[in-house]
Structure 1
Amino acid sequence: MKAGQNSLLHQKWILGLIVWAVMESVSYGQGSVSSSAVTAKPVGLAAEGMPLDSMTFDFNRDITVQLIPFDDMFKLALAYSPAVKFEGAVANSQLSAYQLAKLQVLQNLTGFVNYSTGNQAILSTGTNATDQLAQISNGYRAGVNVVISLHDLFARPQQIRLAKANHDATLERKRIAEIYLKRELYNLYQDLILSQRVLQIRLRDDQASLAAFRIAEVELQKGKITPEAHAFNSNRYAETRTTVEQAKTQFIKNIYALELFVGVPIHQLKRD
């Protein structure tokens, strides 16, 4: 009877230890630390060595509900993208070249205005110098001089069409840059979502591995398992911790890659 009571107490004690290990692993997986651990961190770092601004995102919440909608993000990327700005400037320059080609024909058109006064005689045979017919009338003179060459008649239309084609080509190249920008932004957005899901899976695996490691420590002290079995659990826990840190690093890298690609600080991409 006494042996049965001891066995029951031992089972309850093991069950309580399992619950304690799971609760501790859950708290560890969510990134909670003691106040003494926080004060020991440098000013520029938060818990687990992550930058402070990356901690504004909750690992356990879907990242899509923490970020602004994708369409709004794409509008910001369009406004700040150097590639799109460059193609827009090239398109504007080609538009100016097209307009210049249409107006360049005006260089063959000249005008003049002058004014004459005084007694200006024309020396002509058989006329008297004092004859009024030999005098040039005084006053203003105005006129237009137009010169049309064969180049203007046959080559100028081709130059205008060439300038228009160059302008249309730059507009299409700008659209290509916008499509490329949207595709790359979507890939980064999906990579961020995937990295968060992988991190959540790794955290759950880490919690289970930590619970098994704690139980193995107790059983090793009681002599129920061999040191080799405990070493296996310890190695398993070390591997899961490594994968968690790798997944966490990849998640943070994807956040900053998105920030650099859009061109605005990460807090502007976060929902209010």
Structure 2
Amino acid sequence: MVLEEIPLAGGNVSAGVVRVGDTVRRPAGPWTPAVHALLTHLHDAGFTGAPRPLGLDEQGREVLGFVPGATAWPDRFAEVEPRTRLARVGRMIRDFHDAVAGFTPPPDAAWRVAIPPEDDGGGEIIAHHDLAPWNLVTGGGSWIFIDWDVAGPGSRLWDLAYAVKAFVPLSADPAWQRPDAAERVRVLADAYGLDEEQRRRLAPMLARRSRAMYDLLAAGDATGTQPWARLWVEGHGQVWERDTTYIRHHEGEWLAALMR
């Protein structure tokens, strides 16, 4: 019996992603074997917040276990809005980072890291690099981070800084700005278990991590590299630029909340 292929939408890079039965099929790339080795390690280590890798199909597409539910962004942000659930995100990221710390990449691993860590011990772990509500599937019992294609050498704090920006969220858009933004930064830091030195480093890193996204999209536009060039044309670069300015302007508030 030939199973129907159901296109899956959502996120910024979903072309060619389909559901087939209880699996998801996605275009593979040179990074796929390394990503699948990573996901296998996470499952073997007991981390349940990642999809299960199932190899390649007859068309050369990567095959992953289907994750029931829907992503938390933007229409289901209420899933991570309560502080108890936001704390769950922080603990989940810490569990991932602890689980991946014991991972030894294949010697021929090829990674697709779009934004390498800047000054934070690059290569400390294999990071996700896109921990955000648009990549968090909830509603199926377990919470699962999807879209591991840009996983690669990184660091705990650089990975967490992106997640803090996305899950608070730290946004210049009045529709998404929150009077409790600083407290939500603190909730994530507490749940993750940052020490004092890491908290001091995190506060200024938030703006730099946001700026790195702007730089990625600008470079993609200049070189025609997809999907970054398309996202730039759609205005995402301007969003990240405004967010960076907002985050930097309020850096003192983030630091004060982190150090209380």
> TM-score, normalized by length of structure 1?
0.19
Larger radius of gyration: 1
Q: Which has the higher contact order (CA 8 A, sep 6+)?
A: 1
TM (norm. structure 2) is 0.20
Higher strand fraction (1 or 2): 2
